[in-house]
Amino acid sequence: MAAQRQSKGQATRLMTDNNHMKETISDKDEQSDEKGGKAFLLKGGKVFVENEFVESDLLIKNGLIAAIGPDLEADGDARVIDCAGLMVCPGFIDIHCHGAMGRDIMDGLDSIEAIARFKATQGTTGFTPTILTNPLERMRWAAIQAKIAMNLPLTGARVLGVHIEGPFVNPNYKGALPEADILLPNIYEIQLFLTELGDAAKIVTIAPELPGAESTIRLLKKRNIVVSAGHTDCSYQKMVQAINWGVTNLSHTFNAMRPVHHREPGLIAAAIDDDRVYCDVICDLIHVHEWIIKFLAKAKGLDKCIIITDAISAAGMPEGEYTLGGQYVIVSGRAPRLIDGRLAGSVLTMIRGVRNIAEKAGLGMPAALKMAAENPARLLGIFENKGSLAPGKDADVCIIDGRRRVTHTFVEGALVYEMGVTEIVRPNLDSGKEQQNGDNGR
């Protein structure tokens, strides 16, 4: 059953990753259920265009980016937002997410909607709810709920499709997946998923070394579904084969998979060596050290690296006790762990991942934004409409302030999140110091 809609002018208060309470916009004057709502002129910001920041304006109209350039004029009653000193960026796309705000994707439509609203506060404009390995009937039910969410009125990040993680994975690298629900690849079962989901199926994570994996991978490729190798003990040679069958991504690279060894390089080396393959990484700096991420970006190339969160229900919440796929999880020091100490997803948000890549890994904001927006859009085959800022593309935009926090998020032209006016921090353009103020509210 869909979550109850809020009345006009009401706001939903959410906790962000820095524990500030923020508001998502639900006033119909500010957002629209369809493309073609209110127009916005983002004035005088540093707009990220073609992998660099340029001083410019950006006009949003009819759900699309209408124009990018200097000295643009507002149309009619368009709201003007002062972006001086702020970064105007493409909205983030998270291709691996299990939950947030105490909600789990597996719990259905209400939870998916709540997660989408939270993700918008963190700059995410699109995501693929990730179906955790569970009993097949429960997985199918949750996947159908995510499919339904794709067509709901817009209140947060757009559901772009469904990511099915398992159940065809290797129990030796199960990570936090429930071992009792892990199965060998089965064409009949995957066809059931595909029949029920249709075009909503976007990504399937599978272990390519398992018996029956080849026929499953070939079927998924034929249906234009991204096949991602994960939770796997795949060798180098088997991964080379699997790439030829249709594998085009690694799920949470370095985690829950055979490690690199100088005498048996394994699937990671095969993926790095092949330009057809992307590598997504949990960029919380707990799952993977920042130097290793920097090494991966240099070895693989920035064009093929993707930031993911792999976030569970604890994202955006205080540390404490949670569940994942029916398993007890304790979150301490930003690390969710099962009773036996194994990591169980993350509490990462996309904006924190972007900051980690830009600052801690030292790759800079252009690289981080490419990994958070353009690359996942290209992997999903939606770059024509999403993943970068250009006239004619969907107005999926996030604005980032001097402390690299999200101040505004637009999804297909709808303003779905706005930071409190007095909290926005921007560099003082005269002194180089930070100053606080907001947009003009017009």
Structure tokens, 213: 């994996």
104 is catalytic: no
Catalytic residue (choose from 17, 82, 310, 439): 310
Residue 247 pairs in a beta bridge with: 227
Question: Residue 123: which of 358, 412, 413, 407 has the closest Cα?
Answer: 407
Rounded CA-CA distance 369/360 in Å is 15
Q: Which residues contact 326 (CB under 8 A, 6 or more apart)?
A: 134, 178
Rounded CA-CA distance 228/117 in Å is 27
Structure tokens, 148: 């339904």
According to DSSP, residue 235 is labeled -
Rounded CA-CA distance 116/434 in Å is 31
Tell me if 310 sits within 8 A of 282, measured CB to CB. yes
Residue 5: how many other CB atoms lie within 10 Å: 11
How far separated are the first and last CA of the chain, in Å rounded? 36
Structure tokens, 10: 């009401």
Rounded CA-CA distance 251/293 in Å is 14
Tell me if 55 sits within 8 A of 95, measured CB to CB. no
Question: Residue 397: which of 47, 97, 143 has the closest Cα?
Answer: 47
Rounded CA-CA distance 186/199 in Å is 20
Rounded CA-CA distance 269/265 in Å is 6
Q: Provide the annotated active-site residues.
A: 310
